[in-house]
Amino acid sequence: MEEILLILFGLIIGSFLNVVIYRLPIEKSIVKPRSYCPQCNQNIKFYDNIPVISFIILGGKCRNCKAKISLQYPLVEIFTALTFWLSYSFYFSISPVYTVFTIIFLCIIVVLAIIDFKHMILPDEFTIGGGVLFLIYSFFNPIITYKSAFISAFGSALIFAFLYFFYLKVRKIEGLGFGDVKMMILLGAFLGIHKLLIAVFLASLSGVIIGFIFIIFKGKDLKTKLPFGTFLGFGTYISVFWGDNIWRFIQSLSH
């Protein structure tokens, strides 16, 4: 019963995350006005705004103007519900508070990953704002020490800042965005050293693979910009749940 309520709550929060993803990059208020269709500006009735269900009933189209509604909406809702359920299954028995912070952290990660994918930006509200929140939480975090949080947050941000300036000055390209540098504070603050290393490793690996696919199949070159925040988001998501296992697996290889 709790798990059904949890999944329903996850769907509703996912619906809110869609609003944040849409409105934050274009500087619109998140609470006002009410949801409306970006095509015809018609307010969306509450019964057309039910997570996933409304999308299916409406056939993925606005009731008023029949404009297509992006598949992003139901996907983010389902993915958020999955995040709630995974966080609960992995961490509730260890600490309910930690479970809540895991959910908040991953909601921020999902929002950042999608905004970076769509707009190539990582808003400070989430990178810096989230970083401060999770640095404070690191003093109460039952999984990692605050030392691990601070070292990985600022150590990795320093390394990324160095890489950022290296690319900019030496190679004259923006290999990383400065948003990625700020995002490392958020990631390090919650993940700690081991999980952060796994997250960055998975992000780089997936970035290289996707980069090669782009070069081979889409005729892009090595200077094509990829949203690294999206890859960091992917690596982080995996690492939050499976980072310790991956870390132990890598250690077992070296013995």
For Zn ion, give the closer residue by CB, 49 or 64. 64
**Which of these segments, 64-72, 191-199, 206-214, 226-234, binds Zn ion (CB under 5 A)?**
64-72
Site for Zn ion in 20-49 (CB under 5 A): 37, 39-40
* Distance from the Cα of residue 212 to its chain's centroid: 23
Supply the angle between the helices 72-91 and 96-119 in degrees, to the nearest 10. Answer: 150
Question: Taking CB under 5 A as the rule, does residue 65 contact Zn ion?
Answer: yes
Question: Amino acid letter at 119?
Answer: H
For Zn ion, give the closer residue by CB, 5 or 65. 65
Question: Taking CB under 5 A as the rule, does residue 64 contact Zn ion?
Answer: yes
In the complex, least distance from residue 154 CB atom to Zn ion, rounded to whole angstroms: 46
Residue 230's contacts (CB-CB under 8 Å, 6 or more residues apart) are: 113, 114, 116, 117
For Zn ion, give the closer residue by CB, 60 or 155. 60
In the complex, least distance from residue 24 CB atom to Zn ion, rounded to whole angstroms: 21
For Zn ion, give the closer residue by CB, 28 or 248. 28
Task: Transcribe 45-114 into DSSP letters.
Answer: PGGG-STTHHHHHTTTB-TTT-PBPPTHHHHHHHHHHHHHHHHHHHHTTT-HHHHHHHHHHHHHHHHHHH
In the complex, least distance from residue 27 CB atom to Zn ion, rounded to whole angstroms: 22
For Zn ion, give the closer residue by CB, 42 or 204. 42
In the complex, least distance from residue 61 CB atom to Zn ion, rounded to whole angstroms: 8
For Zn ion, give the closer residue by CB, 36 or 212. 36
**Residues 140, 144, 146, 152, CA torsion sign:** negative
Tell me, residue by residue from 83 to 112, as one string, x for binding to Zn ion by CB under 5 A and - for no binding: ------------------------------
Name the nearest CA neighbour of 112 among 128, 91, 97.
128
In the complex, least distance from residue 89 CB atom to Zn ion, rounded to whole angstroms: 38
In the complex, least distance from residue 64 CB atom to Zn ion, rounded to whole angstroms: 5
Runs of H (alpha helix) within the chain: 2-23, 53-57, 72-91, 96-119, 124-137, 146-170, 178-218, 228-253
In the complex, least distance from residue 49 CB atom to Zn ion, rounded to whole angstroms: 13
Half-sphere exposure of 78 (CA within 13 A, CB side): 9
Question: Taking CB under 5 A as the rule, does residue 69 contact Zn ion?
Answer: no
Q: Total number of residues binding Zn ion (CB under 5 A)?
A: 7
Binding site for Zn ion (CB under 5 A): 37, 39-40, 62, 64-65, 67
